[in-house]
């Protein structure tokens, strides 16, 4: 396998990976990415969440990444949840994904997790294949999504308002 340098991004590095993230989420704008990434890289969160990036040895720009967080699962205890896998590499994107997947077990062990839960949103077949090769299996769960109206959030309140009229106006 190709040699990669893998590490957790600092808050100062999140803007540099925006073009990479746009490969996975083409409609993502820069302010939304920065808001999302700052939540993961804040110093108050410690290592409980973050963004792991992989760069080929000798290159400065990452060719892959995933976001992670630690959750407490009722059945499993501490679980590392990995999400938003991105691998863009002209030479071998599969090698990038494999390097990131290998990092999952090491990170989970360091954080005292008993399991790794990976969420794969489309992407390349390499992601699911590499996870499968590393022992990841489908869970007995179904992930469902219901899109709600776009809400605008007031800073500091923690509550959202309907962007398209209030509840009273809706009758």
Classify residue 123: in a domain, yes or no: yes
Q: Which of 122, 124, 118, 120 is nearest to 92 (CA)?
A: 124
Classify residue 12: in a domain, yes or no: yes
Classify residue 16: in a domain, yes or no: yes
Say which residues have a Cβ less than 8 Å from residue 132's Cβ, sequence separation at least 6.
none
Q: Are residues 72 and 78 in contact, defined by beta-carbon separation less than 8 angstroms?
A: yes
Higher model confidence: residue 121 or residue 162? 121
Classify residue 147: in a domain, yes or no: no
Neighbours of 62 (CB within 10 A): 27
Classify residue 22: in a domain, yes or no: yes
Q: Which domain holds residue 91?
A: 4-140
Percentage, residues of the chain above pLDDT 70: 82
Residue 158 pLDDT exceeds 70: no
Q: Which of 49, 45, 15, 10 is nearest to 33 (CA)?
A: 15
Backbone Cα Rg of the chain: 18
**Mean pLDDT score, 98-112:** 93
Query: Residue 123: what pLDDT?
Result: 60
The pTM score is 0.79
* Range with lowest mean pLDDT among 41-45, 50-54, 89-93: 41-45
**Mean pLDDT score, 49-75:** 92
Transcribe 44-97 into DSSP letters: GGTTSEEEEEEEETT-SS-SEEEEEEEEEETTTEEEEEEEEEEE--SS-HHHHH
Query: Residue 135: what pLDDT?
Result: 81
Say which residues have a Cβ less than 8 Å from residue 104's Cβ, sequence separation at least 6.
66, 80, 82, 116, 118, 134
Classify residue 44: in a domain, yes or no: yes
Paired with 91 in beta bridges are: none
Residue 145 pLDDT exceeds 50: yes
**Mean pLDDT score, 85-96:** 85
Classify residue 155: in a domain, yes or no: no
Classify residue 23: in a domain, yes or no: yes
CA distance 69 to 128: 19
Query: Residue 35: what pLDDT?
Result: 95
Domain count along the chain: 1
User: 33: domain CATH number?
Assistant: 3.40.630.30
């Amino acid at each position: 396998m190709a040699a990669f340098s893998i590490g957790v991004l600092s808050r100062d590095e999140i803007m540099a990976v925006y073009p990479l993230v746009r490969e996975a989420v083409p409609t993502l704008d820069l302010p939304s990415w920065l808001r999302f990434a700052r939540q993961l890289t804040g110093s108050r969160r410690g290592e409980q969440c973050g963004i792991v990036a992989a760069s080929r040895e000798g290159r400065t720009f990452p060719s892959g990444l995933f976001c992670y967080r630690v959750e407490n699962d009722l059945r499993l205890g501490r679980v590392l949840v990995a999400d938003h896998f991105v691998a863009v590499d002209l030479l071998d994107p599969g090698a990038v994904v494999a390097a990131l997947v290998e990092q999952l077990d090491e990170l989970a062990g360091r954080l005292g997790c008993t399991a790794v839960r990976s969420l794969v949103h489309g992407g390349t077949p390499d992601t699911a294949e590499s996870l499968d090769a590393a022992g990841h299996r489908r869970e007995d769960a179904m992930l469902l999504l219901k899109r709600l109206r776009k809400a605008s959030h007031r800073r500091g309140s923690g509550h959202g308002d309907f962007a398209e009229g209030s509840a009273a106006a809706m009758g």
